[in-house]
């Protein structure tokens, strides 16, 4: 195994890779804020409850903070930005679902 090769660097901090990963990470942070706001709006609607038992136990704010902190290693260690974009896609659906629930049941 050649430790001097570019494959030996698990963090992969080359400027090109880092700049390609920053945008989806920032989008993910914005989606987390959107999830937090849309969840709070949905939970303000009478009769709505949080289905995620982890979020229900910890609270929405704490769960969002933990997820953003947990996404930081994904930013550094992933070699492909599409992993972050896939996570962004998932949270876009979550935000849309929360917003739809709060509008429908308002």
Cβ-contact 87, 95 below 8 angstroms: no
Going by C-beta distance under 8 Å and a sequence separation of 6 or more, which residues neighbour residue 27? 88
| pLDDT on residue 95 | 93
Assessment of whether the complete model's pTM goes beyond 0.75: no
Helices 60-77 and 15-44 pack at an angle, to 10 degrees, of 160
- Is 60 exceeded by the pLDDT of residue 15? no
Q: Please state whether 50 falls in left (phi above 0), alpha (psi between -120 and 50) or beta.
A: beta
Average pLDDT of the chain is: 82
Question: pLDDT (tens digit, 9 = 90+) per residue, 32-49?
Answer: 899 999 988 888 888 888
Looking at per-residue pLDDT, the higher value among 7 and 26 belongs to 26
CA angle 86, 90, 93 (to 5 degrees): 140
Cβ-contact 98, 51 below 8 angstroms: no
């Amino acid at each position: 195994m050649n430790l001097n090769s570019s494959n030996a660097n698990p963090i992969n901090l080359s400027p090109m890779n880092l700049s390609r990963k920053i945008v989806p990470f920032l989008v993910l942070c914005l989606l987390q804020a959107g999830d937090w706001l849309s969840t709070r709006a949905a939970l303000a609607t009478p009769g709505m409850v949080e289905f995620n038992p982890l979020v229900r136990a910890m609270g929405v704010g704490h769960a969002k903070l933990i997820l953003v902190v947990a996404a930081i290693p994904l930013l550094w260690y992933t070699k492909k930005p599409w992993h972050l974009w896939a996570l962004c896609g998932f949270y876009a659906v979550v935000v849309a679902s929360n917003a739809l629930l709060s509008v429908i049941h308002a």
